[in-house]
Amino acid sequence: VQLQASGGGSVQAGGSLRLSCAASGRTFSSYSMGWFRQAPEKERVFVAAISRSGGNTYYASSVKGRFTISRDNAKNTVYLQMNSLKPEDTAVYYCAASYAVSYYSGGYDYWGLGTQVTVSS
């Protein structure tokens, strides 16, 4: 599966952005999906994940209550709604696909190119 993330941009603290990740292929619903982010000179870290059906979601503690992951299997797309953004949310955001939900980047088989999110104070 090929993944393409979009929706990044620059926003002031307190603002919102919605990231999208479009997947190619006809087996999108076979994959659990995740979002990770990587700030400059830091490791890539888990942000959120969603099960294949969308019935279960998982979040890093740093974003819980502010970010919402969702998916539309009919559109082969996963979303990350980001509200109440903070400067520390600034990073390149990546979407990834896996056969099983994982909090670890090594658990994902397919990755899209990232999309930059910049939050200014």
User: Average pLDDT for residues 19-36, to the nearest whole number?
Assistant: 94
Per DSSP, helices labelled H in the chain are none
Buried residues in 41-80 as b, exposed as e (16+ CB within 10 A): eeebebbbbbebebeebbbbeebeeebbbebeeeebbbbb
User: Average pLDDT for residues 14-35, to the nearest whole number?
Assistant: 94
End-to-end CA distance of the chain: 37
Assess whether pLDDT exceeds 80 at residue 97: yes
Write down the pLDDT at residue 85. Answer: 98
Write down the pLDDT at residue 57. Answer: 98
In the numeric block, the tokens 């400067």 are attached to: 87
Residue 52 DSSP symbol: S
Tokens matching residue 22: 């479009």
pLDDT one-digit tens code per residue, 37-87: 999 999 999 999 999 999 999 999 999 999 999 999 999 999 999 999 999
Separation CA 3–CA 118 (nearest Å): 21
Assess whether pLDDT exceeds 90 at residue 13: yes
